């Protein structure tokens, strides 16, 4: 909303020139040499609004997804931690319905010397190892502890719908194979079955052409 936007923009004025230079340098360094699986989108008009994209780590329900997020630096940064939000919808115990991220690094474990890179890496790690004890999404936290398969299926579905770019037929076939390995025959598997048949047909046609050659 407008009030939030005005508060964010005013933060630049509240930060000292030294802090502004420090943040600008760190953002430039992150753009030139980004951590693995993390991409930064600097906001040249407002350095207190840091946009980033995190690749869903392999071996997790978020694998293959591209998750947009932002860090908002408050007027007391770095004495106080930034606020973190996922702008891509995600099913995760430590992410509220409004996208707010709950991680100890952004709360009680914050130290002024911790930089933006550390925060981004911590949030990426949260996708690998969620912390159900400080859940903002109680349903996700409960499923993670009591019914992991249900949690994983729900998180994968959210990733599929909200975080994955449009797929080629090859990608779709890969997803179908992975789903069948897990013994799942849900709506996503049925959805991709038609795509796999098309892909198989194209493969056969390609073999026929090669034989003629």
Q: Which active-site residues does the annotation give?
A: 102
Cα–Cα distance, 164 to 2 (Å, whole number): 30
Residue in the block written with tokens 């474990």: 109
Residue in the block written with tokens 């690998």: 128
Q: 132 and 141 in contact (C-beta within 8 Å)?
A: yes
Question: Angle formed by the axes of helices 116-128 and 17-32, to 10°?
Answer: 50
Q: Which two tokens stand for residue 101?
A: 């991220």
Q: 77 and 119 in contact (C-beta within 8 Å)?
A: no
DSSP bridge pairs for 57: none
Element (H, E) at 69: strand 66-72
Of 59, 78, 57, residue with least CA distance to 67 = 57
Cα–Cα distance, 82 to 75 (Å, whole number): 10
């Amino acid at each position: 909303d407008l009030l939030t936007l005005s508060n964010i923009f005013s933060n630049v004025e509240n930060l000292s020139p030294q802090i502004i230079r420090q943040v600008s340098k760190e953002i430039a360094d992150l753009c030139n040499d980004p951590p693995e699986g993390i991409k930064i989108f600097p906001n040249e008009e407002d350095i207190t609004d840091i946009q980033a994209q995190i690749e869903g780590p392999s071996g997790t329900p978020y694998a293959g997804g591209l998750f947009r997020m932002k860090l908002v630096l408050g007027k007391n940064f770095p004495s106080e931690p930034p606020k973190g939000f996922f702008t891509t919808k995600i099913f995760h115990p430590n992410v509220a319905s409004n996208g707010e991220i709950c991680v100890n690094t952004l709360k009680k474990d914050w130290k002024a010397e911790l930089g933006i890179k550390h925060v981004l890496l911590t949030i990426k790690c949260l996708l690998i190892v969620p912390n159900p004890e400080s859940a903002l999404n109680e349903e996700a936290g409960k499923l993670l502890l009591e019914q992991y398969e249900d949690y994983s299926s729900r998180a994968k579905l959210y990733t599929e719908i909200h975080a994955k770019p449009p797929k080629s037929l090859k990608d779709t076939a890969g997803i179908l194979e992975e789903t069948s390995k897990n013994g799942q025959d849900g709506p996503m598997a049925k959805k991709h079955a038609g795509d796999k048949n098309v892909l198989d047909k194209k493969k056969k046609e390609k073999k026929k052409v090669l034989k003629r050659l």
